[in-house]
Amino acid sequence: METLVRIADALGRFSARYVPSAFAIAVLLTLLAFGLGLTRAGAAPMDVVKGWGGGFWELLSFSMRMAARDVQRLSPGARRAARSGAAHGALGS
């Protein structure tokens, strides 16, 4: 067990030192997308900004629809399992 703790500590130190934060990765990818939109697509800077902003709201709408679908599909099964007592029996508790 002590070996596992040492490995976990080493991995934690490595990631804290070398892996950038999620915000830094998001900023770098945003700048990369902006640069590629300007150079490769030949779009005007304002067109790239509008495309980036418009794309975000489309993805947000899509992700909310998928989340609602998942909740709707999981709810009937959870109710049936709770009513029949299968939720406790399946876990062995």
Could you write out the DSSP letters of every residue in 42-56? ---HHHHHHHHHHHH
Residue 90 C-alpha from the chain's centroid: 30
Residue 24 pLDDT more than 60? yes
Tell me the pTM. Answer: 0.52
What pLDDT, on the 0 to 100 scale, is given for residue 72? 83
Residue 45 pLDDT more than 90? yes
Tell me what the mean pLDDT of segment 25-32 comes to.
94
Tell me what the mean pLDDT of segment 55-61 comes to.
81
**pLDDT band (50, 70, 90) for residue 32:** very high
Phi-psi region of 26 (alpha: psi -120 to 50; beta: other; left: phi over 0): alpha
Query: What residues contact 28, with CB distance under 8 A and at least 6 apart?
Result: 20
Alpha carbons 68 and 61: distance in angstroms, whole number: 11
Query: What residues contact 2, with CB distance under 8 A and at least 6 apart?
Result: none
Residue 93 pLDDT more than 50? no
**pLDDT band (50, 70, 90) for residue 37:** very high
